[in-house]
Amino acid sequence: MNHAFYLWMSYGATALAVLAEIVALRARRARALRLIEEERDLEAQD
């Protein structure tokens, strides 16, 4: 098989892994902020 396949599978997978981690980081922060808001709203209702 062409060597380009092995190279691009390596570089491409690394780029994807980095991208996935950044997306997951943003999602985790958004989830944490949403949780704080939900708890505050629940306490306000009580």
Check binding of 42 to other proteins (CB under 8 A). Answer: no
In the complex with other proteins, which residue's Cβ is closer, 36 or 45? 36
How far is the C-alpha of 4 from the C-alpha of 1, rounded, in Å?
9
Q: How far is CA 46 from CA 16, 39, 41, 42, 43, in A?
A: 45, 11, 9, 6, 5
Check binding of 23 to other proteins (CB under 8 A). Answer: no
Of 37, 41, 42, 44, the one binding other proteins by CB under 8 A: 37
Check binding of 28 to other proteins (CB under 8 A). Answer: yes
Check binding of 19 to other proteins (CB under 8 A). Answer: no
What is the amino acid identity at position 46? D
